[in-house]
Structure 1
Amino acid sequence: MDWWRLDLNPKVVAAVRKANIQSMKEILSLSGPDLQRLTKLSNRDVQYLHKTVAVATKSDPVVTALQMYNGQCPFPTQNQRLSMGCPILDLLLGGGIPLMGITEIVGESSAGKTQICMQLCLSVQFPCRYGGQESGAVYICTEDAFPNKRLQQLIAFQPMLRADVPADVVNNIKFGNNIFIEHVADVESFNHCLSKRIPILLSRGLIRLVVIDSIAALVRCEFGAADSIVKAKCLQKFGTMLHHLSHRFCSPIICVNQVTGAVSDSHLAHSELGLLDRRVLPALGLTWSNQLLMRLMVCRTHICIEGKFPEGEVCASTTGTVIRRMEIIFAPHLPQSFCNYIINKQGVRGMKETGVNGTREVGMNKLTIKTILKVSI
């Protein structure tokens, strides 16, 4: 290490060399008393040495919480999001799915979890300026066969769904060539896939999104009720591996999860029911919940009859369309909120609801705002 490049007193440099300290990393790893004992320097010189080395090694400038709140944070990667392919759902999620961390989509059967995941696999292939990552995705199926026919339909209707993107850009993307499908049936195969195969695709830049559908089906057939400790360790191991891949390659991880049965009144205080007070809980328990960055819960709500909601609000969709709802259960950067969406042949689309008084609300229901205000008061 060339210590003379640092703004240090020659006496300090000589003491550091005499102590046989070879790098700045060694200095930062030593406490003040230990460094003072090795170099025989004064406490003031040791503090200045620590400060000088810390300034020389830092790679990013310091920012305040106010700068981060105002979107002035100079870390562009942390501010980037993967678009959901719908501006209304992106508004709900603060721009889309975070690039680093595990996002869980949990819900009952036929709530639209797989449809959302397939749309994300297409959205990640768009250029960055349109909310994508200009790369592919890997889709890991653990239970059912991959719905390839539905994927082809979504690809065909991408120009209609993504009207914000120029047609020539959409037509130049070979969506089907950039989605890698993997079927795994047991924990051992899944572990091999995470540790060997996916890192190769990520390191080569072929993918920037990993979808696991579903994580609950994978461990449900491997562990019984008496294997709770072993199952918890397995989930922690998978969570650590997924976090490592996500942060190393700046790629979002989407995990589909299932829900348990009805929750009794005695357990409501300890459950994560969100704003809608559902009596179902995500599977896999607290161990898996601690691995997640964000949890989204989706469900079917009701059928649009004669162009109106049962509550009397006008529906923008066609008669007979099933209305679904997406809710943010927890996220470090977002409040609890929800919005309605539909699934048609074009894909997953958030709903712009028009109330009876003529006001329009995009992405967030009135109940959400009232509940947040009530809690804050």
Structure 2
Amino acid sequence: MDWDQLDVNPRVIAAVKKANLRSIKDVLNLSGADLQRLTKLSCIDVQYLLRAVSGALRKYSGLTALQLFQDESPTSQRQKLSLGCRVLDGLLRGGIPLTGITEIAGESSAGKTQIGLQLCLSVQYPYEYGGLECGAVYICTEDAFPHRRLQQLIEHQSQLRGDVPHPVIQKIKFGNCIFVEHVADIETFHECIAKKINALLARGMVRLIVVDSIAALFRCEFAAKDSVLKAKYLQTFGAKLLRLSSAFRTPVVCINQVTDTMGEGASGDPSSPCSAGKNVVPALGITWSNQLLMRLMVSRTNRLAQPAEDGSPGSPLRTMRVIFAPHLPQSACCYTVNPEGVKGIQMEIPTG
């Protein structure tokens, strides 16, 4: 750290530098007597130094469990990343947590990629509008990146949308702040998160990681007999992503596929990870589930939203369900995907 940023007497800073103490860790690893001996400072000066160093470590004030549950912290607006939709943010009590891995699982055409793209735009909003004023990195593991769809969303950002004023959006260069990485195998993915992503985060260029999709990396790499090795890779990748998220306070969103399941897993139990009314569960099993902070399940229904004002037919209704999260109850809401992006709808959840 830069010692000159500490709120202490410049004489004390000069003594610390002269003693070749280069970091906070160096100071805290020494006793008060050793600090006096190395820096030639008085006992009072050493106490002031330790107090200033301790204050620098407490950059974010502590919160009680009740404050976290009620989301009443003074910086609560900065503790979540908005999805760019008031209804969906209401379901998630503000959006995606800044630390931890959030999974969005669902079948094809459920809208998983659309949500990922929308997050890549909303992360660039100012803090007061639910963003983090920074860019995003989007890791593609199978299909080509949907550049045309992203450009369509960017064009619609120039119009009034939700609560974000038009002048604010116009100042953001959305397309210049999204870094796309293509990975096709486990080795490439490991190098990507260990080197490229870490470098982008360290330079302050991104504050969101989207992996689309995590299951594609393991779909063809491992046979049934390699389950132990597969679990080790999942634990390794989960630990690395968690480390990056915690170190840089960066949301990690992993899009996951689903697999068919036998039995009565989709029996209407809201705690079941199955998609509503369908015998499917998120891929990769319990080893991957244990790495997650929050799991969201999205699905496409057979119902249509109400027709638009111009008379065009309504979009297919989709549902987003909170399967588990430490700060959220199990709940759900409907949404649609249209040219403007993903929009939540306040209505009764379809049962069929």
- TM-score, normalised by the number of residues in structure 1: 0.73
Shift of 1:277: 5.4
Deviation, 1:136, is 0.5
Partner residue of 1:237? 236
The aligned residue for residue 288 of structure 2 is 288
CA contact (8 A) 2:245 2:252 kept: yes
Select the structure of larger CA radius of gyration.
1
- What SS does structure 2 have at the residue aligned with 1:327? strand
| Counterpart-to-counterpart distance in 2, 1:302 and 1:315 | 21
Q: Give the Cα–Cα distance (whole angstroms) in 1 for the partners of residues 237 and 168 of structure 2.
A: 37
Deviation track 1:145-195 (CA, whole Å, cap 9, x = no partner) reads 001001000000114463311111111111110101110000000000010
1:302 aligns with 2:302: yes
How many angstroms does 1:320 deviate by? 4.3
Does residue 1:339 correspond to 2:333, yes or no?
A: yes
**Residue in structure 2 matched with residue 65 of structure 1 by the alignment:** 65
Matches of 2:247 and 2:92 in 1, distance apart?
A: 23
Q: How does 1:76-155 map to 2 (within 5 A)?
A: 76=75, 80-155=79-154
Q: Is the 8 A contact 2:140 2:212 kept in 1?
A: yes
Deviates more, 1:142-151 or 1:62-71: 62-71
Query: 1:46-83: CA deviations, max 9, x gaps?
Result: xxxxxxx99x9583766543344444446x37961100
Using the TM superposition, give the Cα deviation of residue 224 of structure 1 relative to its aligned residue in structure 2, in angstroms.
1.2
Q: Secondary structure at the match of 1:264?
A: coil
1:328 pairs with one of 322, 330, 333: 322
* C-alpha distance 315-265 of structure 1, shift in aligned 2 (>3 A): farther
Query: Which runs of 5 or more structure 1 residues have no equivalent in the other structure?
Result: 1-21, 28-52, 309-313, 354-363, 368-377
* Counterpart residue identity of residue 281, structure 2: L
- Per the normalisation by structure 2, the TM-score is 0.78
User: 3-state DSSP class of the match of 1:100?
Assistant: coil
SS at 2:218's partner residue? helix
Residues 111, 204 of structure 1: alpha-carbon distance in 2 compared, 3 angstrom cutoff: same
- What SS does the corresponding residue of 1:220 show, helix, strand or coil? coil
For residue 348 of structure 1, what is the aligned residue in structure 2? 342
Counterpart of 2:38?
none
- Identical-residue share of aligned pairs (%): 54
SS in 2 for 1:254: strand
SS of residue in 2 equivalent to 1:199: helix
In 2 relative to 1, CA 87–228 (structure 1 residues): closer, same or farther, beyond 3 Å? same
Is the deviation greater in 218-227 or in 143-152?
218-227
Alignment of 1:270-289 (within 5 A): 272-273=272-273, 276=276, 278-289=278-289
Distance 1:262 1:181 in 2: 33
Does structure 1 conserve the Cα–Cα contact (< 8 Å) formed by 2:275 and 2:299?
Answer: no
Q: Describe the shift of the 1:302–1:160 C-alpha distance in structure 2 as closer, same or farther (beyond 3 A).
A: farther
Contact 2:333 2:344 in 1 (8 A): yes
CA RMSD of aligned residues (A): 3.1
Aligned AA (1:141): C
Aligned counterparts of 1:24 and 1:202: Cα–Cα separation in 2 = 27
Tell me: CA distance 1:331–1:186, structure 2 relative to 1, closer, same or farther (3 Å): same
Equivalent position of 1:157 in the other structure: 156
SS of the aligned residue for 2:89 comes to helix
Deviation per CA, 1:274-329: give whole Å up to 9, x if none: 69454211000000000000011101011328x48xxxxx9999534211111111
Q: Please tell me the residue identity of whatever aligns with 2:240.
A: M
Would you say how many aligned residue pairs link Structure 1 and Structure 2?
303
Measured after TM superposition, the shift of residue 265 of structure 1 is 3.1
Separation in 1 of the partners of 2:104 and 2:221?
Answer: 22
- Provide the secondary structure at the position in 2 that maps to 1:265: coil
Q: Distance in 1 between matches of 2:315 and 2:79?
A: 33
1:247 and 1:326 mapped to 2: Cα distance? 26
For 1:118, give the aligned amino acid: L
1:316–1:297 distance in 2 versus 1, CA, 3 Å: farther
Is the 2:99–2:246 Cα contact (8 Å) retained in structure 1?
Answer: yes
Q: Say if 1:125 and 1:135, in contact at 8 Å, map to a contact too.
A: yes
Gaps of 5+ in 2: 1-25, 32-49
